Amino acid sequence: MSHRLRPIDWMRGIVMILMVTDHASEAFNASRPVTDSVMLDGWNQPLDTLQFLFRWLSHLCAPTFLFLAGTSLALSIERKKARGVTSKGINRDLLIRGLVILGAELVFINALWVANTLLLQVLYAIGLSMICMIALRHLSNRLLLCFSFFALTVGEWTSSGILSLPTEPLAAANALLFSGGSIQVDILGIDEIRSVYPLIPWCGMMAMGWALGRHLVDRKKSPSAMPLERVLARLGLLALVVFLATRWWNGFGNMSLIRLDNSIPQWLHVSKYPPSLSFTGLEIGIMLLVMAGLFRFDSNRESQPNRNNPILLFGQTAFFFYLAHIFMLEVAAYLTDIDKMGDLGHALTASVIVIVALYPMCIAFRHFKASRPRSLLRYF
């Protein structure tokens, strides 16, 4: 197995581009809808189809980040084991990697957002999930998948009142770990912690990706008769069946964000905050089907792809790309005085400019990182 699987980098690159469009919309688009949680005002109001679909496209990003982070880590750890790295060394690497990502969220990203509010977003979920995998990686694939199912449904129990956490300390833990929400604090000038990406359900997505990474390793040791793209396609279709069943049922599995009618936007209007079972089935299903196509495309190639292919490049420099594009969009919105006062046209224009500007920056960063393989840059 090669050091990197190109289809994984391509998949990351695709969602990085989708992510830029949503964050550009967040920075510039006054009409950007954020209605994918019953905790948000207006979730049950009529949806502007164009605005909704523009945002909905980016829903693929966070599940893909967490899932493929698990897949890549499982592959990386197998390579380290083959080189004789000890379990203690692997745990230390996971801890440092998780702390670097968590630190980027707490220090860098939050410096660009709301004053006096600490936002715990996707890097919080990724960083802490990596740290959790220090223990979870010792579970079998079957137990990892059982944990994932628990993780993706426990928020449903707490939000619906089946599992009640009434006291203030437990309510804070519920917000951080299971359902998301706000916690009032008074720490170092911060008066609110807003948990946007509660840890447990997103950790469940990383655990699912870890199980896939192990499957890829096992295929290398003992190749399966079934082509990988067919395995991924079947898993993707199974995930979509979960989505269709829970969305049709319109009850448990939707995090109370039920369909108001049978229109396509209402079928797609699933809970991301926190992620419902229907959301997970839809996004992971789409991701696996796209991955199946990418693995098939890669296996049929007769030549190596251009290393500087933009999608491949962005997938290989995803962490740097994430930090850089957030900074560029926030600064641009502030300097142009269009901060949350424009439209989709402004968002699309900003997206194109940022993607074009990041292309040479990502090439330079990849080269700089490769020239310093033992530095902290290996965690970026």
Q: Which two tokens stand for residue 202?
A: 């997103």
Residue 204 has pLDDT above 90, yes or no: yes
Q: Answer yes or no: is pLDDT of 160 > 70.
A: no
Q: Is residue 309 part of a domain?
A: no
Cα separation, 198 vs 39, in Å, equals 14
Structural domain including 119 reads: 63-300
Task: Enter the DSSP assignment of 352.
Answer: H
Distance CA 50, CA 42 (A): 17
Q: Which range among 53-62, 84-93, 248-257, 299-308 shows the weakest confidence by mean pLDDT?
A: 299-308
Residue 113 lies in a domain: yes
User: Does residue 142 fall inside a structural domain?
Assistant: yes
Residue 214 lies in a domain: yes
In a domain, 187, yes or no: yes
Tell me whether residue 71 is in a domain: yes
The conformation of residue 142, written as its DSSP 8-state character, comes to H
* 61 vs 11: CA distance, rounded Å: 10
**Region class of 117: left (phi > 0), else alpha (psi between -120 and 50), else beta:** beta
Which whole-number Å values give the CA distances from 311 to 123, 170, 315, 369, in the listed order? 21, 43, 6, 18
pTM greater than the 0.85 cutoff: yes
In a domain, residue 75? The reply is yes
- pLDDT score at 158: 60
Residue whose token pair is 């793209």: 229
Q: Give the count of domains, the chain.
A: 1
Please report whether residue 38 resides in a domain.
Answer: no
Q: Answer yes or no: is pLDDT of 87 > 80.
A: yes
